[in-house]
Amino acid sequence: MLFAVPETPAEWYERVRAGIDADGYRDVDWRSWRSWPFDGSLWVRPLDPPVTTEPPRAGAGGNDCAQCERSQGAAAADYLVWRDELFMLGLPFEASSLPLAMFLMTRRHTDLSGLTPDEAQRMGTLLVEVERAACQVLAVPRIQAVRWGDGSEHLHWWLMARPTGMLQLRGTFLSHWDDLLPRQPAEPARADAEFVARRLVERVGGEALAHPGRA
Ligand SMILES: [Zn+2]
């Protein structure tokens, strides 16, 4: 069957809602997955209908954008570990539990669909080369690269890695495990990120930014 017009959000919701009413949620056996962080029963919340107008994301239009503010001036030395003319690597605002957690962001305020051809090309190179650099200097098997973009408008790829051999942290639930596990102290986390940044400079140029206390 061909559909001439894509479903509207309201139509999607009505169809899905009717399916839930008829058959319930699909039965996903996450509890059998070793990577599922929880034990016991969880209950799925009722599915909210779509809103008519989405709320603005943080930093919308470049106003009060945390990424823009933290990447400029003196604050950049705390926030960033690497930058070139187009992109920068920053650390999460709150410390992570993982051996690598950083953001790949554009230098200017834009989102994924606003990239120039040069930015898009450089982004592809950097997604590849950050993984190569990280795997060379840290005991991580690969990087998980995730772009949600629902929280703030300024393009930021989440780059996260689990320790090699920690099979329970593989895949979809890595970010949930990151929320649950004790945070890594800020200073060694920063030092590890700087190792990656210096190797990245060797591979693709740009500038590694050392923390002022260690430069
Ligand atoms: Zn911004």
pLDDT at 25: 95
Tokens of 87: 């992109």
Q: How far apart are CA 175 and CA 66, in angstroms?
A: 21
Average pLDDT in the chain: 94
Q: Where are the domains of the chain?
A: 72-208
Provide the β-strand partners of residue 161: 100
Identify the band that residue 1 occupies on the pLDDT scale cut at 50, 70 and 90: low
pTM: 0.92
- How far does the centroid of ligand 1 lie from the alpha carbon of residue 128, in Å? 23
- How far does the centroid of ligand 1 lie from the alpha carbon of residue 107, in Å? 8
Chain centroid offset of residue 194 CA: 18
Quickly tell me which residue has 């945390």 as its tokens. Answer: 66
pLDDT at 2: 65
72-208 to CATH, choices 3.30.428.10, 3.40.50.300, 3.40.50.720, 1.20.120.80: 3.30.428.10
Question: Which phi and psi (to 5°) does residue 202 adopt?
Answer: -60, -35
pLDDT at 121: 98
Q: Which residues contact 197 (CB under 8 A, 6 or more apart)?
A: 81, 82, 89, 133, 208, 209
Q: How far apart are CA 139 and CA 99, in angstroms?
A: 8
Nearest to 195 by CA among 156, 125, 140: 140
Q: At what angle do helices 117-137 and 186-204 cross, to 10 degrees?
A: 120
- pLDDT tens for 9-47 read 999 999 999 999 999 999 888 889 999 999 988 899 999
Per-residue burial over 94-116, b = 16 or more CB atoms within 10 Å of its CB, e = otherwise: ebbbbbbbbbbbbbebbbeeebe
Identify the band that residue 214 occupies on the pLDDT scale cut at 50, 70 and 90: low
- Would you say residue 166 has pLDDT above 70? yes
- pLDDT tens for 167-187 read 999 999 999 999 999 999 988
- How far does the centroid of ligand 1 lie from the alpha carbon of residue 96, in Å? 22
Quickly tell me which residue has 């930093």 as its tokens. Answer: 59
C-beta neighbour count of 156 within 10 angstroms: 24
Identify the band that residue 93 occupies on the pLDDT scale cut at 50, 70 and 90: confident
Q: How far apart are CA 200 and CA 127, in angstroms?
A: 11
Element (H or E) spanning 19, and its range? helix 9-23
pLDDT at 77: 87
- How far does the centroid of ligand 1 lie from the alpha carbon of residue 7, in Å? 32
- How far does the centroid of ligand 1 lie from the alpha carbon of residue 19, in Å? 40
Identify the band that residue 75 occupies on the pLDDT scale cut at 50, 70 and 90: confident
- pLDDT tens for 94-150 read 899 999 999 999 999 999 999 999 999 999 999 999 999 999 999 999 999 999 999
